[in-house]
Structure 1
Amino acid sequence: MDLNTILSQLETANEEDIEKLLQQYNRENIHTFSFDQKEETLRSKLCQSVLTVLGRQVQPSCQKTCLETLRILSRDKRVLAPVATREGMLILGGMARLRAGQEEGDNQNSSQDCTQSEEEERVVVEALKCLCNVVYNSPAAQQVSVDVQLAHGLCASLRTARSWHHEVGLFTLRLLFLLSALQPDVRGVLRRQWHAVRLLTEVLELTLDVRWVGPYEAARPDPQALPMPAEDNERAMEALKALFNLTLSEAGGEEDNHQFRLIAAILRHLLMLKTETEEKTEEAHSHAVNLLNNLPVSCLDVLIDVPVQGGQEKYGRKNMDAVQVLLDFMEKRIDKGSNFKEGLTPVLSLLTEGSRHHREIRRYIKAQVLPPLKDVKIRPEIGTTIRNKLVRLMTHVDMGVKQTAAEFLFVLCKESVDNLLKYTGYGNAAGLLVARGLLAGGRGETQYSEDEDSDTEEYKSAKPFINPITGHVEEPMPNPIEEMTEEQKEYEAQKLVNMFDKLSRQNVIRPMGVRPDGTLAPLEETLCDPHEDNSGSDSD
């Protein structure tokens, strides 16, 4: 239908005709909406006309149709000027029952609205969808949302989560996520003034049906229970994404510490749940990992400290079920072989920090990833074990992935260079050692307990024959100069000297050495011993 025709008829049509007119437009454009630049002005006028209709007292069915039209139009960021105004955002906020711009008492009253009909519910959902599109596509609308305190209305809605229908809850949480992602200044207000972290935690607790059996300990999920419904999983993911934004900058204080530990306990519960598909379960675990990375590392003890359920004697009676889930998740991400930066590095960073600060976590992970060596005839990067896969990542082309994998293994070795070289070989570990200034050996700065895994008899017997560069026992290679005459040996040696001299004079290569502190330096500097005492010269 021609937009000029629609606009001319909207000016004089009654409510019923408006609804029919826009329904036809929606059917024609819902799947094949064209962003034709020639009609940009007309679509912008249509936005304004639809808002004008919504500003009048029309029936819910007409409101729903108008909002569907506005949702289709809001895909085009160039036509949103009429909506990205105080009046436009207040109209949409009112339709979504967010009561944006109203006082605290009015917001509280809004949560006590009478039960909505199904048609009124669809109006709320369509308004929330429109707001999501408009806020995402229009920086001007984002700023207006701040001015009219749209986030305040969203927090008031969070308090009514128990009475939410699925889509109302889903798009309320999605809108809060978008606003907190696109307007960083709003995050502080949401945390401090409107207690959004606590409200989102309560929504997550309700959605995941958490039942507490002790401080920061949720009851173990029933193995025979059905997987988490898809709708609950969807809302939980949106809540996790919003919480991620709000916890990006840590707050301090005892109250915050309690809230963070509560979140960690809920995330542990989430890690133990299954959804309807393996793909959705992995997505849930990915969001849980991202949020756990934002929490203070001291809170990670909640993942293993579950007294009611009990744990393993060898790990101080700590429960390692959640850590094992994280290890399995890490290995799945490695096996995917792509998107390591976003998909793998968060879980590697989480396990690294958990291992660095929590002895039981490190001991458990090391037993799984770096068990005592037995077969040292195969290079560390060859094979299908987790160790083999991680060692391969130590030479990955992406610097971030390479460094994160190396740091993880280094922490598992208690930041001991000798232990790291034992499991990876010097060639794979060289990048980390150069970056940390540890080429001369030693340990990192972090303090670890003194317990050490004893070497296996197989490793002890093979140790003298291990090539420290490759990290494995190599087959003896034939000596290429055995059959040479003395004249041939002298000729080859002189040729090699000439080649190095030429490359050095052309600055192609520069001989380097290792300082006492383990860093690289030009060879002439390392040959001068700063501690050499020259006072004992022949002079009297």
Structure 2
Amino acid sequence: MDLTNVLSQLESADGQDIETLLQEYNTENSHTFTFNQKEETLRRKLCQSVLVVLGMQVQPSCQKTCLETLRILSRDKCVLAPVATRDGMLTLARMARLNAGEGQGDDDKEQPQESTLSAEEERVVVEALKCLCNVVYNSPAAQQVSVDVKLAYGLCASLHTAPAWHHEVGLFTLRLLFLLSALRADLRGELRKEGQVVKLLTEVMEHTLDVSWDGPYEVTRPDPQALPLPAEDNERAMEALKALFNLTVSNVGGKEDDHQYRLMAAILRHLLMLRTETEEKTEEAHSHAVNLLNNLPVSCLDVLIDLPVQGGLEAYGGKNMDAIQVLLDFMEKRIDKGSNYKEGLTPVLSLLTEVSRHHREIRRYIKAQVLPPLKDVKIRPEVGTTTRNKLVRLMTHVEMAVKQAAAEFLFVLCKESVDNLLKYTGYGNAAGLLMARGLLGGGRGETEYSEDEDSDTEEYKTAKPFINPITGHVEEPMPNPMEEMTEEQKEYEAQKLVNMLDKLSSSCVYRQSLIRPMGVKPDGTLAPLEETLRVPHGENSGSDSDE
């Protein structure tokens, strides 16, 4: 359609003609909309004209069509100036039945109940929310106006009516709150100070997942025969999780917030035990749950295993490890994917590391699954299909964050003991972590652990003297290359080695520190070889006077 004709007809058309005209425009552009710079000015004028129509008394069907047009236009960041104004944002907020503007938050302003809306009016609300999502995402100016008119508080007021929501109304309300909290750090801080937003979102999660309670922080076990979580409920839960993540990402709450965090952890545990209609959606739900659990104080995560009614494993103090096993299975799935480790794998590794560091029963359970007692030490630690093999391979991954996360996880499972870590990984795989922590000379990390001892198998004890500490396995005997050499050949090779070392130590390359022989200092850190061999002033290292 020619935009010039559309604009000229809009000026004189009535409500029904406007609806027909814009429906035709929407049909032509809903899937084939292109960013034509020549029409940019005309599309901006069309935005303004549609906002004028929305300010008039027109039927809900016409309002819906106008909002569909705005949603299509809002894909172009360059035409949003008329919408990203106070009047434009307040018009969209009014269409979405959100209280915004001056006086927002006053007690005399009640949030309209979506349950009283007709089906046609609900579609208007949904389209307005979709428009707001697009505009806020694509326009920094609209983000600032949203803060100025306190749009987030209108969304929070809408959270109180969550049980009465139509699915898409709830979905896009939560999505808009997520976008605002993601794009505006100042708004995150403001909403956290209010204190009620996190509670409201937690209640939304509780309602969406149909949670019932057996105890203060114990959700009733889901029925194994129950139907999977419906797709619509799962969608809303994901949006609530993402908004909660934003609001807790830099949390500095005190002990008075522990109750809320424990409630949240209990609901997240329930989510981990649920299944959705597809395996892909279940994995997505677990991913968001892991991200949010990482934000909660680790002291509150005992809720994951402390379930008196459901009981647990006697070997682990009666704690229930079902949720921990789900996290381990999720971790292994992400490893097996073989891609996107930084975003997909490091969060669950970080979570498992922290709960293992602070909760003894969890560490003992995870170690039994990941690092069982060694028996076969003839194969290198990184070779094989076990979880241990996969994690050891990640210790030398090219992505720094990935290899650090994998190494730290295994180190904590070994109670931060260098000797124990080397037993399971070999020195070569662990060198990066040990160098970063200044533990190349051995020792332990700073965290204190219980005194329970590790038990070695008889097979490991027998093979231990023959294990190569660098590779972490028993190597086949190598043939001696000097066996068939004559004495003259041996002298020649020795002199050749001496010349190479002398050349290295005296070359300009060495002087410029590009290639330098290194040694280990008494504190376990690396230093140039001459410094590690230097005798402190005033000390003798074996003089004749000692004899």
TM-score (norm 1): 0.98
Aligned-pair RMSD on alpha carbons? 1.5
The residue number in structure 2 matching 1:58 is: 58
The residue number in structure 1 matching 2:519 is: 513
Secondary structure of the 1:521 match is strand
Question: In the alignment, does 2:44 pair up with 1:44?
Answer: yes
* Match runs of 1:456-475 below 5 Å: 456-475=457-476
The residue number in structure 2 matching 1:32 is: 32
* Match runs of 1:324-363 below 5 Å: 324-363=325-364
Secondary structure of the 1:109 match is coil
The residue number in structure 2 matching 1:157 is: 158
Structure 2 unmatched ranges of 5 or more: none
1:108 deviates by 4.7
Secondary structure of the 2:527 match is strand
The residue number in structure 2 matching 1:4 is: 4
Q: Is the 8 A contact 1:311 1:320 kept in 2?
A: yes
Question: CA–CA distance in 1 between the matches of 2:355 and 2:368?
Answer: 15
Q: Is the 8 A contact 1:155 1:194 kept in 2?
A: no
Q: Is the 8 A contact 1:99 1:106 kept in 2?
A: no
The residue number in structure 1 matching 2:242 is: 241
The residue number in structure 2 matching 1:139 is: 140
CA offsets per residue over residues 511-533 of structure 1, 9 Å max, x none?
A: 21111100011111111244974
How many residue pairs align between the two structures?
538
Q: Which amino acid counterpart does residue 2 of structure 2 have in structure 1?
A: D
The residue number in structure 2 matching 1:259 is: 260
The residue number in structure 2 matching 1:103 is: 104
Question: CA–CA distance in 2 between the matches of 1:107 and 1:517?
Answer: 68
The residue number in structure 1 matching 2:428 is: 427
Question: CA–CA distance in 2 between the matches of 1:352 and 1:306?
Answer: 21
Question: In the alignment, does 2:371 pair up with 1:365?
Answer: no
Q: Is the 8 A contact 1:99 1:107 kept in 2?
A: no
1:501 deviates by 1.6
Q: Which amino acid counterpart does residue 463 of structure 2 have in structure 1?
A: A
CA offsets per residue over residues 193-250 of structure 1, 9 Å max, x none?
A: 2611000000001001111100111011000000000000000000000000000111
Q: Is the 8 A contact 1:159 1:199 kept in 2?
A: yes
Question: CA–CA distance in 2 between the matches of 1:493 and 1:311?
Answer: 64
Question: CA–CA distance in 2 between the matches of 1:229 and 1:252?
Answer: 34
TM-score (norm 2): 0.96
Q: Is the 8 A contact 2:219 2:270 kept in 1?
A: yes
The residue number in structure 2 matching 1:82 is: 82
Structure 1 unmatched ranges of 5 or more: none
The residue number in structure 2 matching 1:442 is: 443
Question: In the alignment, does 2:534 pair up with 1:528?
Answer: yes
The residue number in structure 2 matching 1:411 is: 412
1:99 deviates by 1.4
Structure 1 pair 61–275 and aligned structure 2 pair: CA distance change class (3 A):
same
CA offsets per residue over residues 309-362 of structure 1, 9 Å max, x none?
A: 001111011100000000000000000000000000000000001101110110
The residue number in structure 1 matching 2:201 is: 200
The residue number in structure 2 matching 1:230 is: 231
Question: CA–CA distance in 1 between the matches of 2:252 and 2:97?
Answer: 31
Question: CA–CA distance in 2 between the matches of 1:436 and 1:398?
Answer: 18
Question: In the alignment, does 2:22 pair up with 1:22?
Answer: yes
* Match runs of 1:296-335 below 5 Å: 296-335=297-336
Structure 1 pair 531–198 and aligned structure 2 pair: CA distance change class (3 A):
farther
1:111 deviates by 3.6
Q: Is the 8 A contact 1:438 1:517 kept in 2?
A: yes
Q: Which amino acid counterpart does residue 370 of structure 1 have in structure 2?
A: L
The residue number in structure 1 matching 2:169 is: 168
Q: Is the 8 A contact 1:216 1:261 kept in 2?
A: yes
Secondary structure of the 1:104 match is coil
CA offsets per residue over residues 87-107 of structure 1, 9 Å max, x none?
A: 000000010001112433467
1:504 deviates by 2.3
Q: Is the 8 A contact 1:107 1:156 kept in 2?
A: no
Question: CA–CA distance in 1 between the matches of 2:322 and 2:535?
Answer: 53
Secondary structure of the 1:120 match is helix
Q: Which amino acid counterpart does residue 400 of structure 2 have in structure 1?
A: M
1:112 deviates by 4.3
The residue number in structure 1 matching 2:289 is: 288
Q: Which amino acid counterpart does residue 470 of structure 2 have in structure 1?
A: I
Q: Is the 8 A contact 1:177 1:241 kept in 2?
A: yes
Moved more, 293-302 or 251-260: 251-260
Q: Which amino acid counterpart does residue 4 of structure 2 have in structure 1?
A: N
CA offsets per residue over residues 100-137 of structure 1, 9 Å max, x none?
A: 12433467522447710000000000000000000000
* Match runs of 1:199-218 below 5 Å: 199-218=200-219
Moved more, 114-123 or 318-327: 114-123
Question: CA–CA distance in 1 between the matches of 2:328 and 2:113?
Answer: 45
Q: Is the 8 A contact 1:54 1:63 kept in 2?
A: yes
Q: Is the 8 A contact 2:376 2:460 kept in 1?
A: yes
Question: CA–CA distance in 2 between the matches of 1:129 and 1:64?
Answer: 11
Secondary structure of the 2:214 match is strand
Question: CA–CA distance in 1 between the matches of 2:265 and 2:207?
Answer: 15
Structure 1 pair 281–359 and aligned structure 2 pair: CA distance change class (3 A):
same
Question: CA–CA distance in 2 between the matches of 1:16 and 1:257?
Answer: 56
Question: In the alignment, does 2:498 pair up with 1:493?
Answer: no
